[in-house]
């Protein structure tokens, strides 16, 4: 009997650095692969992956990229070095046929550990410009998969391969009626999904029913309203919530906005500013806005008044934006990545 192929996934620090892995893991399991995952001990990746059946999770030490001065910045290089050692030792034991990295700083020790063990590596870049973790990892990888074609212009690497947006299949399986029943929303009032933030959320209940995904530790227990529901994160119910959603307010992380595009959900994008990021979300948001998939509000221009005005504009243009979205041709990125994994695996 042939031995199962084994793949080790890595990526974390934010949900965006896990989403692509979540799309690929069920497909590979159905193909008979053994799935392992390596991430940090307390990162969001550990929470998200522990929901998956038959995926073994391995934790390692990791640093964090900060864009501000902190004492932790001096400790992180030692954590990364220790993480490389841990990853190297664990990969020797796991013996994967290939490592697939979605990025985030936890992925750097794993990629280096794989390279030291002569295990082939594929990395994935979702944004228009590559992140620091993927820039560090690229020399040690066999291939890098790109969501945006334009990313190749920034990299000029023969390892780059444009595959398109990797979308989770389960998001298309939602039921709007089931979603409304769970949160006790009516069918007549439009539903607004807010990803993070809180500015003006309570005021919006005059016009919308709101599902607010706040993030870990951000739920405001004091805020109660029949048209306003809060979650830290949504797992099993996500597809149903998306099915009943009419519009979305979100940052401009590539994985999320491509999923909303695939579902034809008009968006108001509020990208992270250059002061708090490398500017990748601004490029993502500008690209979507230019193609008519969203309204755009820069964080520097964000006030109560501008926020409410932007939502009103989005609501007015929602049919036009949804029509633009329906014209978008989705590439079968998952199949392309699966084929590449099969080819690169030793």
More confident residue, 76 or 255: 255
Lowest-pLDDT range of 209-223, 250-264, 297-311, 318-332: 209-223
Tell me: do 214 and 255 sit in the same domain. Answer: yes
Tell me: do 254 and 288 sit in the same domain. Answer: yes
Q: What is the pLDDT at residue 80?
A: 80
Tell me: do 42 and 117 sit in the same domain. Answer: yes
Residue 329's pLDDT band, with cuts at 50, 70 and 90, is confident
Q: What is the pLDDT at residue 331?
A: 76
Q: Where are the alpha helices (DSSP H) in the chain?
A: 19-30, 44-49, 72-94, 107-116, 132-137, 151-155, 176-183, 238-244, 254-262, 280-290, 304-316, 318-326, 333-344
> What CATH number is attached to the domain comprising 143?
3.40.50.2000
- Residue 345 confidence (pLDDT) above 60: yes
Residue 210 belongs to a domain: yes
Q: Is 53 exposed, middle or buried (0-12, 13-18, 19+ CB in 10 A)?
A: exposed
For range 117-129, the mean pLDDT: 96
Q: What is the pLDDT of residues 159-188, one digit of tens each?
A: 999 999 999 999 999 999 999 999 999 999
Q: What is the pLDDT at residue 126?
A: 94
Would you list the DSSP string of 252-276? --HHHHHHHHHTT--EEE-PPPTTS
For range 229-255, the mean pLDDT: 93
- Residue 84 confidence (pLDDT) above 60: yes
Q: What is the pLDDT of residues 95-115, one digit of tens each?
A: 999 999 999 989 999 999 999
Q: What is the pLDDT at residue 218?
A: 78
Residue 299, token pair as written in the block: 């964080």
- Residue 299 confidence (pLDDT) above 80: yes
- Residue 121 confidence (pLDDT) above 90: yes
Residue 158 belongs to a domain: yes
Q: What is the pLDDT at residue 14?
A: 87
Tell me: do 191 and 126 sit in the same domain. Answer: no
Considering the chain, what is the average pLDDT of its residues?
Answer: 91
- Residue 272 confidence (pLDDT) above 70: yes
More confident residue, 64 or 167: 167
Residue 75's pLDDT band, with cuts at 50, 70 and 90, is low
Residue 17's pLDDT band, with cuts at 50, 70 and 90, is very high
Considering only CA atoms, which of 268, 253, 344 is closest in space to residue 20? 253
Tell me: do 275 and 202 sit in the same domain. Answer: yes
Residue 246's pLDDT band, with cuts at 50, 70 and 90, is very high
Tell me: do 202 and 109 sit in the same domain. Answer: no
Tell me: do 258 and 285 sit in the same domain. Answer: yes
Q: What is the pLDDT at residue 20?
A: 96
Q: What is the pLDDT at residue 112?
A: 97
Q: What is the pLDDT at residue 69?
A: 56
- Residue 261 confidence (pLDDT) above 90: yes
Tell me: do 25 and 155 sit in the same domain. Answer: yes
Determine the structural domain holding residue 315 and report its residue range. 172-326
- Residue 65 confidence (pLDDT) above 60: no
Residue 275's pLDDT band, with cuts at 50, 70 and 90, is confident
Residue 72's pLDDT band, with cuts at 50, 70 and 90, is low
C-alpha span between 108 and 317 (Å, rounded)? 42
**Angle, alpha carbons 184-312-214 (nearest 5°):** 50
β-pair type (6-10, 34-40): parallel
C-alpha span between 95 and 43 (Å, rounded)? 24
Tell me: do 163 and 177 sit in the same domain. Answer: no
Q: What is the pLDDT at residue 46?
A: 93
- Residue 259 confidence (pLDDT) above 90: yes
Tell me: do 68 and 198 sit in the same domain. Answer: no
**What's the pTM?**
0.90
- Residue 158 confidence (pLDDT) above 70: yes
Lowest-pLDDT range of 59-63, 160-164, 189-193: 59-63
Tell me: do 12 and 159 sit in the same domain. Answer: yes
Residue 1 belongs to a domain: no
Residue 1's pLDDT band, with cuts at 50, 70 and 90, is low
Tell me: do 220 and 258 sit in the same domain. Answer: yes
Q: Would you say the C-alpha torsion 46, 48, 53, 55 has a positive or negative sign?
A: negative
Number of domains in the chain: 2
What are the φ/ψ torsions at residue 272 (nearest 5 degrees)? -60, 140
Residue 61 belongs to a domain: yes
β-pair type (267-269, 143-146): unpaired
- Residue 258 confidence (pLDDT) above 60: yes
């Amino acid at each position: 009997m042939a031995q199962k192929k084994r793949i080790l996934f890595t990526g974390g620090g934010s949900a965006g650095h896990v989403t692509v892995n979540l799309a690929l893991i069920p497909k590979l399991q159905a193909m008979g692969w053994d799935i392992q995952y390596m991430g940090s001990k307390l990162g969001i990746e550990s929470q998200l992956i522990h929901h998956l059946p038959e995926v073994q999770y391995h934790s390692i030490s990791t640093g964090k990229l900060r864009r501000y001065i902190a004492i932790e910045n001096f400790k992180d290089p030692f954590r990364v070095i220790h993480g490389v050692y841990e990853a190297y030792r664990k990969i020797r034991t796991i013996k994967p046929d290939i490592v697939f990295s979605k990025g985030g700083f936890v992925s750097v020790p794993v990629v280096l550990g794989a390279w030291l063990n002569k295990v082939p590596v594929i990395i994935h870049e979702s944004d228009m410009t590559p992140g620091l973790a993927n820039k560090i990892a690229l020399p040690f990888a066999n291939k890098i998969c790109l969501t945006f074609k334009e990313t190749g212009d920034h990299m000029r690497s023969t390892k780059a391969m444009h595959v398109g947006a990797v979308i989770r299949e389960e998001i298309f399986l939602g039921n709007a009626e089931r979603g409304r029943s769970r949160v006790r929303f009516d069918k007549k009032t439009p539903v607004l999904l807010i990803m993070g933030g809180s500015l003006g959320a309570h005021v919006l209940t005059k016009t919308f029913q709101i599902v607010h995904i706040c993030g870990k530790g951000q739920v405001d227990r004091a805020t109660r309203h029949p048209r306003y529901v809060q979650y830290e994160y949504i797992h099993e119910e996500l597809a149903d919530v998306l099915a009943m959603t009419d519009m979305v307010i979100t940052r401009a992380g590539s994985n999320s906005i491509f999923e909303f595009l695939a579902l034809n959900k008009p968006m108001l994008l509020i990208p992270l500013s250059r002061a708090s990021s490398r500017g990748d979300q601004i490029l993502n948001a500008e690209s979507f806005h230019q193609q008519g998939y969203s309204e755009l509000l820069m964080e520097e221009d964000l006030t109560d008044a501008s926020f409410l005005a932007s939502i009103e504009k989005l609501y007015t243009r929602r049919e036009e934006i949804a029509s633009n979205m329906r014209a978008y041709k989705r590439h079968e990125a998952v199949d392309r990545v699966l084929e590449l994994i099969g080819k690169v695996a030793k």
